[in-house]
Chains A and B, each alone.
Chain A
Amino acid sequence: EAQVTQNPRYLITVTGKKLTVTCSQNMNHEYMSWYRQDPGLGLRQIYYSMNVEVTDKGDVPEGYKVSRKEKRNFPLILESPSPNQTSLYFCASSLEAGFNEKLFFGSGTQLSVL
């Protein structure tokens, strides 16, 4: 089944404890992206990747890191999480980065930073 897989689904952590949210897609998509969803703000892009080893900042990149060493994986790293990073996170991918390309989303990761 074609899908984007995120793990974990839920995560509770404490301030300053490094964490990684994994994202993997099995559709051979070139483009991958991370979003956070906050009430009243919709989804905002954190980072995106056009292809392997090509990543760039989105609208809210502060406090996050990403890497794209393989085409299928695009992990999101919070080196020192803070409470304002409590949010619902989505990984998404599309075949390419064109304006007509539909994004496929993972099921989301609900993160709470205490």
Chain B
Amino acid sequence: AQKITQTQPGMFVQEKEAVTLDCTYDTSDPSYGLFWYKQPSSGEMIFLIYQGSYDQQNATEGRYSLNFQKARKSANLVISASQLGDSAMYFCAMREGRYGNKLVFGAGTILRVKS
């Protein structure tokens, strides 16, 4: 069963506007962590933001915020004031269980920022 689903293969956003990248997850474990990574065209994986299953508040890191809706099992990434440098592939990922052996990834969303 797919554990992480990213339903948007590609997205466009106008520079300076906000954009939401969708992510839904599936787990029966009460302990899990949700991560977003950015992969620019150069290929490296850049950590953006983390949300723990026990966290009461939505995570924020600068222009990135995570809209965490636990009951709906969604963890959408919101990028505010998009910049041209935000054009990249974005991956949602989950690590579950006390020992968190795996980081399971979604298929990714390609974001293109238009000027």
Contact = CB atoms under 8 A, between A and B. Distances in A.
A65 B47 CA distance: 27
Contact of B100 (A56, A58, A98): A98
A101 B97 CA distance: 11
A12 interface: no
Interface residues of B, number: 30
B102 A102 contact: no
A99 B98 contact: yes
Nearest to A9: B43
B76 to A, nearest CB: 17
A101 B95 contact: yes
Contacts of A105: 37, 44-45
Nearest to A49: B101
A82 to B, nearest CB: 23
A101 B47 contact: no
B91 A43 contact: yes
Interface in B70-115: 91, 93, 95-108
A30 B103 CA distance: 15
Contacts of B106: 42
Given A100-B52, A102-B35, A48 B91 contact: no
A100 B95 CA distance: 7
Contacts of B95: 98-101, 103
Interface of A: 33, 35, 40-45, 48, 50, 56, 58-59, 88, 90, 92, 97-105, 107-108, 110
Interface of B: 4, 29, 31-33, 35, 37, 43-45, 47, 50, 52-53, 91, 93, 95-108
